[in-house]
């Protein structure tokens, strides 16, 4: 049982739950839910590719985590580095195989992002902003993946949601580099955005991205179906926007003691936004 808990921690299952919500919402907005087989396969793909991506990231990130994240199962010794490789391989194979049984578009997305996750962990994360952009794109692409499960075209609403998720994800990743700046410099000697332009300027850039993302959520409420004047979407998205705004402010003010809480707050805000999108998308069932 203890090893299962460690695998869950290594693969960040809580992120996979958010991906499930995103895929189902995208499917409903794009055309409507697919048949049960494709629905299950469309959930399996992002969940397992994501699990593999987190496992391989921790494998390559051991030295940095000795400074930034000491509760990593690989550092505690409850899992060995080779276990992370096995988990990565098995997860990626399951995810890609599931996508192959949906259609060629989904297969292409799964292969590309599985490969990118390995490149990111090995080298891309050390490239200025490129690694941050990849993580944000990996969050946003789930909406395109979900849309392609049921349709060969993409609705404007799906593209706007994708942009909103990408921008807020990029902001969250930049703030992550603000929090982890010491560890990144000591362990990997990388030039992240706060290293290049300073903590305050990087936090300001992240805050601006959050504000644009919040603007998109408001535009959806005012002028885009099925979100337009949807009271359930509106109520939840206001709370989500407040959480994200608060997270951005904590980093902008340089409150180091509040960094961990702010990161959790931003994740909660993004999760709540996905729930709001899912509830609004029920109009297309």
Over residues 159-178, the pLDDT tens digits come to 999 999 999 999 999 998 88
Instruction: State the Cα–Cα distance between residues 4 and 6, nearest whole angstrom.
Output: 5
Q: Where are the alpha helices (DSSP H) in the chain?
A: 2-11, 13-30, 36-60, 62-68, 73-76, 81-100, 104-122, 130-150, 156-179, 181-183, 193-197, 199-223, 231-252, 259-281
Name the DSSP class of 102. Answer: T
Confidence of residue 260 (pLDDT cuts 50, 70, 90): confident
> Same domain for 161 and 276?
yes
pLDDT in the model for residue 141: 94
186 and 229: one domain? Answer: yes
Give the whole-angstrom CA distance, residue 233 versus residue 144.
Answer: 21
Together in a domain, 8 and 122: yes
Q: For residues 157 and 216, what is the distance between their CA atoms, to the nearest angstrom?
A: 10
pLDDT tens-digit map of 201-249 = 999 999 999 999 999 999 999 999 899 999 999 999 999 999 999 999 9
148 and 172 together in one domain: no
Same structural domain for residues 56 and 83? yes
Nearest to 65 by CA among 52, 46, 51, 79: 79
Structural domain ending residue among the three candidates 119, 152, 185: 152
Q: How many CA atoms lie within 13 A of 197 on its CB side?
A: 13
Residue 37 has pLDDT above 90, yes or no: yes
pLDDT at 137: 94
d(CA 77, CA 69): 14
101 and 165 together in one domain:
no
pLDDT in tens, 112-161: 999 999 999 888 877 878 889 999 999 999 999 999 999 988 889 999 99
- 145 and 17, same structural domain? yes
Looking at 122, 152, 182, the residue that finishes a domain is 152
What is the Cα–Cα distance from 284 to 262, expressed in whole angstroms? 34
The answer on 268 and 215 residing in a single domain is yes
Domain holding 88: CATH number? 1.10.357.140
| Residue 227 DSSP code | T
Taking a C-beta distance cutoff of 8 angstroms, is the pair 56, 88 a contact?
Answer: yes
Q: Is-contact 280 24, C-beta < 8 A?
A: no
Same domain, 15 and 130: yes
What CATH number has the domain bearing residue 173? 1.20.120
How far is it, in rounded angstroms, from Cα 55 to Cα 12? 9
Q: Are residues 142 and 174 in the same domain?
A: no
Q: Is the pLDDT of residue 269 over 60?
A: yes
- CA distance to 17, 72, 174, per residue, from 63 (Å): 28, 11, 20
73-124 pLDDT per residue, tens: 777 767 888 888 999 999 999 999 999 999 999 999 999 999 999 999 888 8
Same domain? 111 vs 171 = no
Query: What's the pTM value of the predicted model, to 2 decimals?
Result: 0.86
Query: 183: domain range?
Result: 155-285
The tokens for 255 are 């409150």
SS3 label, residue 228: coil
CA distance 13 to 7: 9
Among the candidates 152, 184, 213, a domain finishes at 152
- Work out how many domains the chain is built from and give that number: 2
Calpha distance 213→167 (Å, rounded)? 6
Residues 284 and 217 in one domain: yes
Element spanning 284, H or E: none
Query: For residues 4 and 256, is the Cβ–Cβ distance under 8 A?
Result: no
């Amino acid at each position: 049982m203890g090893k299962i808990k460690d695998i869950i921690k290594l693969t960040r299952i809580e992120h996979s739950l958010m991906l499930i919500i995103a895929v189902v919402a995208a499917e409903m907005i794009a055309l409507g839910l697919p048949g049960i087989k494709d629905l299950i396969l469309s959930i399996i793909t992002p969940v397992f590719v994501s699990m593999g991506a987190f496992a391989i990231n921790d494998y390559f990130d051991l030295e940095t985590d000795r400074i930034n994240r000491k509760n990593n199962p690989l550092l505690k010794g409850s899992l060995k580095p080779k276990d992370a490789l096995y988990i990565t391989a098995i997860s990626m194979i399951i995810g890609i195989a599931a996508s192959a049984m949906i259609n060629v578009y989904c297969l292409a997305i799964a292969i590309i992002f599985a490969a990118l996750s390995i490149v990111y962990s090995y080298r891309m994360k050390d490239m200025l902003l490129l690694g941050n952009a990849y993580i944000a794109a990996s969050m946003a692409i789930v909406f395109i993946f979900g849309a392609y499960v049921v349709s060969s075209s993409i609705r404007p609403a799906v593209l706007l949601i994708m942009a909103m998720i990408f921008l807020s994800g990029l902001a969250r990743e930049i703030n992550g580099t603000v929090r982890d700046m010491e560890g990144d410099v000591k362990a990997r000697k990388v030039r992240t955005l706060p290293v290049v332009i300073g903590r305050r300027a990087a936090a300001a850039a992240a805050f601006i991205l959050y504000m644009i993302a919040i603007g998109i959520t408001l535009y959806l409420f005012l002028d885009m179906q099925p979100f337009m004047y949807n009271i359930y979407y509106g109520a939840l998205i206001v709370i989500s926007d407040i959480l994200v705004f608060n997270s951005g402010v904590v980093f902008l003010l340089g409150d180091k003691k509040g960094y961990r809480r702010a990161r959790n707050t931003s994740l909660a805000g993004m999760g709540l936004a996905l729930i709001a999108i899912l509830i609004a998308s029920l109009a297309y069932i």
